[in-house]
Amino acid sequence: MSKIFWSPGLEQLEPYTPGEQPESKTLIKLNTNENPYPASPQALGLLKQYDFSDALRRYPDPESRELRRAIADKHKLTPEQVFVGNGSDEVLALSFYSFFRRREPLLFPDITYSFYPVYCQLFDIESRKIPLARDFSVQLQDYSAPAAGVIIPNPNAPTGRYLPLDEIEALLECQPQRVVIVDEAYIDFGGDSAITLINRYPNLLVIHTLSKSYALAGLRLGFAMGQKHLIQGLLRAKNSFNSYPIDAVAQRVATAAIRDTAWHADNCGKVIATRKRCEQTLAEIGFEVVPSQANFLLVKPPQPGAEAFNQALRKRDILVRYFNQPRISEYLRISIGTDAEMDQLIRNCKEILASQS
C-alpha cells in the first residue's frame, strides 16, 4: 500500500483499539462495559412511534437546545453550562484540543482509559503518567507539578476505584490555573458526581456519557458540564470542526432517556446489586477483587492466571477484557451483565478452576 499520499506523521499515530464487537449473538459479552438491559422504554418507544421524516429531511438543531435543557434540568445547571457531543469520546477529543495544547505535559494516572494517550498524540500534547499506588489508588500529591491540565476518570477505568469528592476538590486546588477533567463515565454506579462543585471551581469540566448507565452506547451521545467560559471554548473548537454533530434522532432519543429518571435509577440499582453479589462470589472462589464503584470488576484470577482464564472463557463463549500491559497483565476486567449472565460466568470460572487440579 502506498502511503505517499498521507500527511507526514499519520503513519506514526497509534490509534485506539476498541474491545471486540463480535457478530455472533450467542456470546456472553462482558468485555466493553455495555449495559446488559435495554434502554428506557420512553427513549426506545420514540423510535417506534415518532415520525422522523421531517426531522431527518432537515439539518438537526446545531445547538441541541432541547437536549441541553434536559441535561441542565436533571443536574441543576443552566443550558449554557452543558456541551453535547457524539459520544463522550468526541467531547474528550474537543476538550483535549481546547484546553491542553500547552507547553507543559498533561497529567493522568499510569493505568487509565487508553484513549487519553491517543488524543495526546493526535493533538501533539505531551503527557506524564502519574503512577497509581500498588492498590491502584490515586496519589494526589503527585498532581501539583506545572502541567497543561489533569484528566482522571472517576471511578477510574479499568480499575473501578473511586475517589471521594473531597479528594477531587484537592485535585482541583492542585491546578487552579489549568482545566481538570473528571471523566465520570461510570459515576452513576455508586459514586458522588463532581457536578455539585462546578459553580465553585472555574477549572472543572465533568464529562458524562449515555453509553454505560443509560444503555445507549450505540446512540453515541456524551456531554461535558462546566462553567460557561469552558463550554464557550469547546463550542469554538466544535464549530470549527463539525457544527451538526448530534443527529436529529439521537437528540430526541437522548432527551427522552435523560428525562426518564425513574428508569435510570432503577437500572443503576440493578447493576450495582449484581456487582456486589459477583464481587463476593468471585472472592469466595479465590479471585482478588479490586473495590469497584463502576459497572465492571477488575479481578486477579488464581492459577492458571489471567491470560489462560481469558482464553478458556473465550472458548466457552464468554468475552471479558484482558489488557496485556504492565501492572495489570495479571488481571481481567469483567463487565457486569445480567444476573443470569454472571451466574454463567461464575459457573464457568469454577469449572476452569476444577479442571486445573
Contacts to ligand PLP by CB under 6 A: 33, 87-89, 113, 153, 157, 183, 185, 209, 211, 217, 222
Strand segments (E) across 5-137? 28-29, 82-85, 106-109, 127-130
113 vs 136 by CB, closer to ligand PLP: 113
Shorter beta-carbon distance to ligand PLP: residue 89 or 247 = 89
Q: Which is nearer to ligand PLP, 187 or 198 (CB)?
A: 187
Least distance CB 58 / ligand PLP (angstroms): 25
Q: Which is nearer to ligand PLP, 121 or 281 (CB)?
A: 121
- Distance of closest approach, residue 183 Cβ to ligand PLP, in angstroms: 5
What values do phi and psi take at 128, rounded to 5?
-130, 125
Pairing of strands 288-289, 296-300: antiparallel
Q: Which is nearer to ligand PLP, 153 or 190 (CB)?
A: 153
- By beta-carbon proximity to ligand PLP, the closer residue of 89 and 279 is 89
Q: Judged by CB, which is closer to ligand PLP: 88, or 293?
A: 88
Q: How far apart are CA 137 and CA 131, in angstroms?
A: 9
Please, which residue, 119 or 263, has the CB nearer to ligand PLP?
A: 119
Edge-to-edge strands, sheet with 180-183: 82-85, 222-226, 204-209, 180-183, 149-153, 106-109, 127-130
Using alpha carbons, list the distances in angstroms from residue 167 to 139, 215, 218.
Answer: 10, 29, 33
CB of 189 to ligand PLP, least distance (A): 12
What single letter denotes the amino acid at residue 29? K
Nearest distance from C-beta of residue 27 to ligand PLP, angstroms: 20
Return all residues near 78 (Cβ < 8 A) that are at least 6 apart: 72, 228
Q: How far is the CB of 356 from ligand PLP (least distance, A)?
A: 32
Tally: H helices and E strands in the chain: 11, 13
Q: Take residue 237 and report the three cell numbers written for it.
A: 473548537
**Sequence-distant (≥ 6) Cβ neighbours of residue 41 within 8 angstroms:** 260, 263
As a whole number of angstroms, the distance between CA 200 and CA 227 comes to 9
Residues 141, 154: Cα–Cα separation, whole Å:
17
Query: Which residue number, 31 or 211, has a Cβ lying nearer to ligand PLP?
Result: 211
Beta carbons of 187 and 208 less than 8 angstroms apart: yes
Q: Angle formed by the axes of helices 339-354 and 261-284, to 10°?
A: 10
Shortest distance (Å) from residue 289 CB to ligand PLP? 19
Give the separation between CA 52 and CA 20, rounded to whole angstroms. 32
Least distance in Å: CB of 172 to ligand PLP? 19
